[in-house]
Structure 1
Amino acid sequence: METGQRLGVGVIGAGFIGSFHARAWQGVRDADIVAVTSRTRTSAEALAREVQELGVGADVTVHDDIAALVRDPRVDAVWVLTPNFTRVEVVQAITREVTSGRARLIGIAVEKPLGRTVAEAREVLGLVEGAGLLHGYLENQLFSPSITRAHGLVWERGAKAAGTPYLARAAEEHSGPHNTWFWNGADEGGGVLNDMMCHSVEAGRFLLTPPGADTGTWLTPVSVTASINSLKWGRTRYAAELARTYPDVVDYTKSPSEDYAHAVFEFLNGDGEPVVVEATTSWSYVGAGLRLSFELLGPEYSMDSSTLSTESRVFLSRDLQQGRGEDLVEKQNAEQGLMPIVSDEAMSYGYTGEDRAFTADFLAGRQPRESLANGLQVVELLMAAYRSAEMGQTVTWPVDLAGFTPAVAKGEWNPRRK
């Protein structure tokens, strides 16, 4: 590691999310992306070129493996953006180099979810803490400007006068992922509940927690009632479409992953009051594109936000022949008609804010508030939701989830099976 006033960041994983972080880095000061590695060199080289074209890193080194990247003297911290099924082995490789003394790092930031099970998430946290690294959980929605601004105002103007909020609603919906491994339950760790409810649960907890307070301390879980289903992609027609689009996908007529999930999490807050997070997620929403919506309700106030309620829109008539793309909004489902424009998705969705915050914390030698411990808490909540859905009843705390793996992840779940 080279000391200095700028943070050198190595990116591990060069897929879709890597490009989002590269674009987000245009709003980050005092840090550069200096190195990239990925499971395929071609994707790593493509991300390195994008980084340099965006001006968020110069002379970006493409490494063939993780060990070489973390030993790079220009790398002070790493961002782990690899698929869920690689999470443990990637963190093992990083921390092995650090604990052996072959590499010197300040910190590590890990994308959601922290693991496919509680056991995996605990192992990741234990490895990082054992290596003595600062750590951040890359939960972008907590850094979305529309959420952080509303959160601060509601607590200052509403909660201070009328009392703490009691209900948070969060939903994330789109038409489905763009990579095979997301659709395979064993690789993903489940379906949409694991993939996207991790966002909604943490956003809900954040909204219910006072600014500056630790979410895990302020909110004590009491119970969860959840349900999951395969509404669209388990149907014969759409299972066949998946098979055509992603040749290595599992047979969704036999072993689907859930494309819809709903959960109600009950907590006691720091005042001893009952509060609720309602979370809904789906891969079966067909609309303009990715829809993120949030609500917070309190005794004399409320807030709401939706990413598809944008300031700008465009209209393209039926006479225009349009090629497919996602230039207006992520997970775009049409190229004609009245379309919302998300002017800066990396900023709006919170990627810029989280990268900026973790960079500042690592440079200051300060442990980020949104830590991997938060990531573990989220996985515990998600696994309890899976258990509730499988049992068809409310799960209450304390609950032992150390050996639990969702039936979806084991290929043993099919709501159409008679």
Structure 2
Amino acid sequence: MSCPLGVALIGAGHISRRYAKALAHLPLARVRGVASRSREGAARLAQTCGAELAVDYGELERLLSAPTVDVVCVNSINRLHAEHAIRAARAGKHVIVEKPLCLTLTEADSMLQASAAAGTGLAYAENLCFAPPYRRARELIAEGALGRILSARQCEKHGGPYSSWFWNVEEAGGGALLDLGCHSIECLRWLLGKPRIARVSAQLATVRHGDRTRLEDDARVTLELEDGTPLRTESSWAADANGESSLEVEGSEGRLVLNLLAGELRLERHDGDSRLIPVESGAGDGITEELTHFLECFQQGRVPDETGADGRAVLEILLAAYASAARGEAVPLPFNPGDITRPVDLWLSR
């Protein structure tokens, strides 16, 4: 494996541009190539980050077979995640897949099997699990600062997607729940040590963008642990433009309140001790930390903190949430959604 690691970006949109910016500051990586729907789009991003290869999806094999490429970042539209990740694994490359992992459990299992067969890594890109304020919150919970956890709520909200394909049922496969709810679900699982989720209930609606899409733009989900502890998520494309990424965790001895956009983490204990918890200066959304961790794991042969198996677990919960919203009742896990091609179909077919 080369050093620095050669990285290829599949997709030349917003997320790949953010990846390219982060990777430019990491000594252990260099962007070697970009693939996009159009060669022109790939060439623009490749020029920005000094990559020598720029191909459209019809020429993807040329990028995947390049000996200078060690790691492939799958940042394409949701519908293509599984295809691109499987092809990269079969080409012998480590793979980082942007959330959501894919659209069906069958696809997820095929991705895991391809990675295992090739002996390559499959990392699930959930940046909140690497954002310094959230990591500090996890440390406080693990240290027992809140006592026994009674409930938690995580919110991800903004005014709507930055790219037109998100509004498209076929290309996205789901709306605000699939786009933002995956953040909240994995954040809460990870914060509490990835406990087993027993039941999922959800309410979905299209409250603001019905003129643009049939997809849900507002989602409320409750995950119930085996002991009955509720974990709640709120995901919305119908909020104001400033957006929200926040966390509240209630415990028997206090509570944590986190505002990621403001960079604030507050501990409020029932004994009267209330204070702001210091976090890293200039701490961002975790993408740089996430990529650093994944690349170091690939280089050192370690299993990443967030894997394809985690992405599958999140997808199963998302599928159960869509089914719950359609049925109007809680759905137990494990959940088999049957023969569907898109998560949102479970709700749209109600």
Q: Which category of TM-score, normalised to the shorter sequence, fits these structures?
A: 0.7 to 0.9
Match of 1:16 in 2: 14
| Residue 109 of structure 1, aligned match among 93, 96, 102 | 96
Aligned to 2:233: 279
Deviation at 1:26, TM superposition (A): 4.2
**Which residue identity lines up with residue 282 of structure 1 in the other structure?**
S
Map 1:1-12 to 2 at 5 A: 3-12=1-10
Q: CA deviation at 1:70?
A: 1.8
Partner Cα distance (1:181, 1:411) in 2: 19
**1:38 Cα deviation from its structure 2 partner:** 1.4
* 1:392 matches 2:328: yes
Aligned to 1:146: 133
For the residues of structure 2 that align with 1:131 and 1:185, how far apart are their CA atoms? 32
Give 1:233's aligned residue.
209
SS of residue paired to 1:148: helix
Tell me: CA distance 1:308–1:6, structure 2 relative to 1, closer, same or farther (3 Å).
closer
C-alpha distance in 2 between matches for 1:139 and 1:10:
19
Question: Aligned match of 2:315 in 369, 373, 379?
Answer: 379
Identity, % of aligned positions = 33
SS in 1 for 2:145: helix
Alignment check: 8 A CA contact 2:7 2:73 kept: yes
Which amino acid letter does the alignment assign opposite residue 325 of structure 2?
A
Matched residue of 1:35: which SS?
A: strand
Query: Residues 185 and 410 of structure 1 are in contact (CA less than 8 Å); yes or no, is this contact kept in structure 2?
Result: no
Q: Where do residues 36-115 of structure 1 align in structure 2 (5 Å cutoff)?
A: 36-52=34-50, 59-64=51-56, 65-96=59-90, 98=91, 104-105=92-93, 107-115=94-102
Shift of 1:401: 2.3
The change in CA–CA distance for 1:407 and 1:74 in structure 2 (over 3 A counts) is closer
Change (3 A) 1:355 1:110: same
| CA RMSD, 1 decimal | 2.2
User: Partners of 2:337 and 2:348 in 1: how far apart?
Assistant: 18
For the pair 1:403 / 2:339, whether they are aligned, the reply is yes
1:193 aligns with 2:177: yes
Q: CA deviation at 1:308?
A: 3.4
Report the CA distance shift for 1:224/1:412 in structure 2 as closer, same or farther (over 3 A): closer
Any idea what SS the aligned residue of 2:216 has?
A: coil
**Where does 1:16-415 land on structure 2 (aligned, <5 Å)?**
16-52=14-50, 59-64=51-56, 65-96=59-90, 98=91, 104-105=92-93, 107-158=94-145, 162-163=147-148, 165-209=149-193, 215=194, 219-234=195-210, 239=211, 242=212, 252=213, 256-268=214-226, 273-287=227-241, 289-309=242-262, 348-404=284-340, 408-409=344-345, 412=348
C-alpha change, 1:411 and 1:157, in structure 2 (3 Å) is closer
| Residue correspondences, number | 332
Cα deviation digits, residues 294-336 of structure 1 (max 9, x gap): 122222122121233358xxxxxxxxxxxxxxxxxxxxxxxxx
CA distance in 2, matches of 1:381, 1:308: 26
Q: CA deviation at 1:121?
A: 2.0
| Between 386-395 and 22-31, the greater mean CA deviation after superposition | 22-31
Q: Distance in 2 between matches of 1:398 and 1:18?
A: 33
Structure 1 contact 188–409 (Cα < 8 Å) conserved: no
**Deviation sequence 1:131-183 (CA, Å, 0-9, x none):** 22111101111111110122113322516xx34x2322111111111222211
Q: Are 1:169 and 1:295, in contact at CA under 8 Å, matched by a contact in 2?
A: yes
- Other structure's SS at 1:348 match: coil
Look up the SS of the partner of 1:380 in the other structure.
helix
Instruction: Check whether the contact 1:265–1:278 (CA below 8 A) recurs between aligned residues.
Output: yes
CA-to-partner distance for each residue in 1:192-215, whole Å, 9 max, x for gaps? 111110110000111112xxxxx2
* Ranges in structure 1 where 5+ consecutive residues have no aligned partner: 53-58, 99-103, 210-214, 243-251, 312-342
Secondary structure, aligned partner of 1:47: helix
- Per the normalisation by structure 2, the TM-score is 0.88
Preserved CA contact (<8 Å) 2:86 2:110: no
Hey, which bits of structure 1, 4+ residues long, moved more than 3 A?
A: 404-414
Partner SS state of residue 112, structure 2: helix
How big is the shift at 1:50? 2.3
Distance 1:360 1:38 in 2: 26
Shift of 1:76: 1.1
Query: By how many angstroms is 1:82 displaced?
Result: 0.6
CA 1:278–1:8 in structure 2 vs 1: closer, same or farther (change >3 Å)?
Answer: same
Q: Deviations over 1:231-279 (max 9, x none)?
A: 1112xxxx1xx4xxxxxxxxx4xxx1110000100113xxxx4432201
C-alpha separation in 1, matches of 2:119 and 2:298? 13
**Contact kept in structure 2, 1:168 and 1:207, CA below 8 Å:** no
Are the counterparts in 1 of residues 173 and 343 from structure 2 also a CA contact under 8 Å?
Answer: no
Please report how far the alpha carbon of residue 71 of structure 1 lies from its aligned counterpart in structure 2 after TM superposition.
1.4
Q: TM-score, normalised by structure 1?
A: 0.74
**CA contact 2:205–2:218 (8 Å) conserved in 1:** yes
Question: Aligned to 1:228, what secondary structure does the other structure show?
Answer: strand
| Counterpart secondary structure, 1:79 | strand
Aligned-pair distance for 1:90?
1.4
Q: Letter of the aligned partner of 1:30 in structure 2?
A: L
Over 3 Å counting, the alpha-carbon distance change for 1:392 and 1:406 in structure 2 is: farther
Paired AA for residue 261 in structure 2: L
Contact 2:131-2:287 at 8 Å conserved across structures: yes
